[in-house]
Structure 1
Amino acid sequence: MAGRTPKNTVQDWIEAAQRTLVDEGIAGLKVDRLANRLGVTRGGFYHNFKDRDEFFEQIIRHWENSCRFLPDDPPPPRPGDAIEWLDRVIGRLIESDGYDYRFDLAVREWARADKRAEWAVERADRERLDTLQKFFEAIGCDKEHAAIRARVFYYHQIGYYAIGVRQSIAERRRNAELYMDILCGEEELKAARAAAAKGRKARAA
């Protein structure tokens, strides 16, 4: 550990846990291994956490707060505003802005063996799907169709990451509009985009 600046705050441990969970899975979250990574002794862990249960709970809370698939603000109810909200969603997913898919997948894998992580993932999925359903309702889908389209959109995106599709950011940007037409409904998006353009024109007048 000579020559290294020790890191021993709660945030240091949580960030080290995030990197390790992504790289090695839950099996890598050993106190001694993380302590070595941080340049501190095992006692540093117990300075910050009562036990491993508290540590794991804080990792899950960190994932819930930091790994945001969707913007924190809900989709607006008007089609023109909702399509601009969708554009922000697509931008953050392409740029990994506020959403680390590697961390998301690592927690999902952890959830296969840990009830706390499983409940957190189920809760996050429900919230994300509910929000996406509101978007589809805003652009004119009835409730049933909105719920199904929300699932198609969400499952596609999670599956895209899970199977490890490799595309450059530039390629994803080029394909984004066509993907959205297919996933969200070309006619609905066309009407929403027209409403958005009309709104921008009115604001500029």
Structure 2
Amino acid sequence: MPALKDSPTLTELTDPPISDRAIRTTKSDWLNLAIRTLITDGIDQVKIQVMAKKLNVSRSSFYWFFKSLQDLHDQLLQNWLNNYTAPIIERAMRPAPSINRAILNVFECWVDERLFDPKLDNAVRLWARRENAVRAVVEEADNRRVDAITAMYSRYGYDAENALIRARVLYFMQIGHYTLDIQEPMDARLSHVPAYLRAFSGQEPELEDIKHFDAFVARAAARNGEI
């Protein structure tokens, strides 16, 4: 990605080595604020001066943690790629007694925002429409996720083309659901799970599989304070 013109001034570089205000912040503070800002306001507002004001620190403290604004942008993007791609791949690779149980393992990412944050995913995709380098990272993420789900289908006997198309339908349907910002209560979503499984696998789901998934959803909701 091209370097952005947001480097420290001579005055900022000659500030005291570590001020009291700088000590109060960490790299995670800056990165987490950048993520929240990207979600709520877009990449244009992920600026050093804007974030420094929100953190109540000097602008120069930013450079203790990042080389430049571009460095922050790069790390923000890498954070998204790693933290919200690995859970999908792990669940697609997780051993399961049936294809429907395997699909439900992937579904865990769609109901627990610790595993997949749809707001952040949408924000990154909006960013990618403006920058080709970001678009390349998004395409990498999509390819890695779809490849893992394709391999999941292949393990249960689906031929190569069938596995790929089912993986694409499963994954891109969910991404489209988030992109369209469809508002659907969790109870309604859960009521459709058996039908989704029939559509995605072509096989009748077992009641035990549904109960297993419902229990995961309940635990996730409890952790998030939703119940």
TM surpasses 0.5 = yes
| 1:72 maps to amino acid | E
2:81 corresponds, among 64, 81, 90, to: 64
* Alignment match, 1:124: 141
1:146 corresponds, among 157, 163, 171, to: 163
Of 54-63 and 171-180, the range deviating more from structure 2: 171-180
- Which whole-Å CA distance do the structure 1 matches of 2:93 and 2:99 have between them? 5
2:105 aligned with 1:88: yes
Of structures 1 and 2, the one with the larger relative CO (CA 8 A, separation 6+) is 1
User: How far 1:7 moved relative to its partner?
Assistant: 4.7
- Which whole-Å CA distance do the structure 2 matches of 1:64 and 1:45 have between them? 23
Unaligned runs of 5+ in 2: 1-20, 210-227
Tell me, what secondary structure is at the counterpart of 1:80?
coil
User: How far 1:88 moved relative to its partner?
Assistant: 2.2
1:14 corresponds, among 22, 31, 38, to: 31
TM-score (norm 1): 0.81
User: How far 1:75 moved relative to its partner?
Assistant: 2.4
1:1-205 matches, cutoff 5 A: 7-68=24-85, 70-72=88-90, 74-75=92-93, 80-182=97-199, 184-187=200-203, 190=204, 193=206
Of 80-89 and 26-35, the range deviating more from structure 2: 80-89
Unaligned runs of 5+ in 1: 197-205
| 1:106 maps to amino acid | A
Tell me, what secondary structure is at the counterpart of 1:140?
coil
| 1:186 maps to amino acid | G
In the superposition, relative to structure 1, how do residues 64 and 112 fare at CA in structure 2: closer, same or farther (>3 Å)? same
- Which whole-Å CA distance do the structure 2 matches of 1:177 and 1:121 have between them? 30
Residues paired across the two proteins, number: 189
In the superposition, relative to structure 1, how do residues 90 and 50 fare at CA in structure 2: closer, same or farther (>3 Å)? same
What is the root-mean-square deviation in Å for CA atoms of aligned residues? 2.7
User: How far 1:131 moved relative to its partner?
Assistant: 0.6
- Which whole-Å CA distance do the structure 2 matches of 1:43 and 1:118 have between them? 30
- Which whole-Å CA distance do the structure 1 matches of 2:71 and 2:38 have between them? 16
- Which whole-Å CA distance do the structure 1 matches of 2:109 and 2:169 have between them? 19
CA deviation profile, 1:44-86 (whole Å, cap 9, x unmatched): 1112111112111110111112223615254257x72553332
Report % sequence identity: 29
